[in-house]
Amino acid sequence: MHSSPDSAVRPKVALVTGASRGIGLATARLLAGRGYRVVISARGEEGLAEAADQLRPFAPGLCHCAADATDPAAVARLMGLIQQRCGRLDVLINNAGGSHHGRPLDAMSPEDWELTLRQNLTAASLACRAALPFLKVQGGAIVNVASLAGRQRSLVAACDYAAAKAGLIGFTRQLALELAPWQIRVNAIAPGLTGTERVDGRWQDLPEDERRSRLAAIPMGRAGRPSEIAEAISFLASDAASYITGATLDVNGGAFMG
């Protein structure tokens, strides 16, 4: 981990979980470019180190720390390192999550269900809890990365993933109410189909007519780019959204218009 250069005004510190690729990596890159001191975390050490190598040339003071977002002890160690190396935390981006299968409920094991909820919902709650000693000092922002699957029926997600992301949206709304007296804003984004590495692999396995059908369900006729999702996250994390809390921002090309 590296120290940022001295300056009259200390940069805000942003932690991005699940930042080794996809939306998390794009968000870390964007925030670094906008003057934040960025801390990135992910479970896999090798992927995280590769992401750090990509970011370091234009992310002064970049810190990276491998941590399993579902492990309370690992999250506590991560926050301890942030305290030691950065001394503050202003923005928390809960991006860790994902879907590890696509099975229907009757083919899903209880372990499948529990893992999906831990990765997508419990992980966010652990990070929020651990970040509060920082955020209650000076206020700040939390952005939780939910999904279109948490807003409406999904043609691609299994019910455990949809339940976890819907739960994350409810968690966001209620936590925003709890933390508003400390001037801590809590919001979520709900991306639709996005061209991340994980999604692209599955996309290429679909028959051509299925791909056409899924794109036809999106009024803008295409998948989103990770950089576009990162822009929405950056907005909610920024002072430009200083009077927005408890909201879920849909970023899906019009696939869901709530």
Is 170 part of a structural domain of the chain? yes
**How many domains in the chain?**
1
CATH of the domain at 138: 3.40.50.720
Q: For the residues 19-48, what does the mean pLDDT come to?
A: 96
Annotation marks residue 36 as catalytic: no
Is 190 part of a structural domain of the chain? yes
The pLDDT assigned to 3 comes to 40
Q: For the residues 46-54, what does the mean pLDDT come to?
A: 96
Is 204 part of a structural domain of the chain? yes
Greatest Cα pair distance, the chain, in angstroms, is: 59
Q: Tell me which of 36, 134, 161, 171 is the catalytic residue.
A: 161
Is 246 part of a structural domain of the chain? yes
Distance CA 139, CA 6 (A): 23
Distance CA 53, CA 224 (A): 25
Q: Give the rounded percent of residues in the chain with a pLDDT score beyond 70.
A: 93
Range of the domain at 59: 13-251
Is 186 part of a structural domain of the chain? yes
Tell me the HSE value of 88 on the side-chain side, using a 13 A CA sphere.
Answer: 15
Q: Which two tokens stand for residue 148?
A: 């279109």
Stronger pLDDT, 17 or 102, i.e. the higher one: 17
Kindly report, residue by residue over 234-244, the tens digit of the pLDDT: 999 999 999 99
Is 2 part of a structural domain of the chain? no
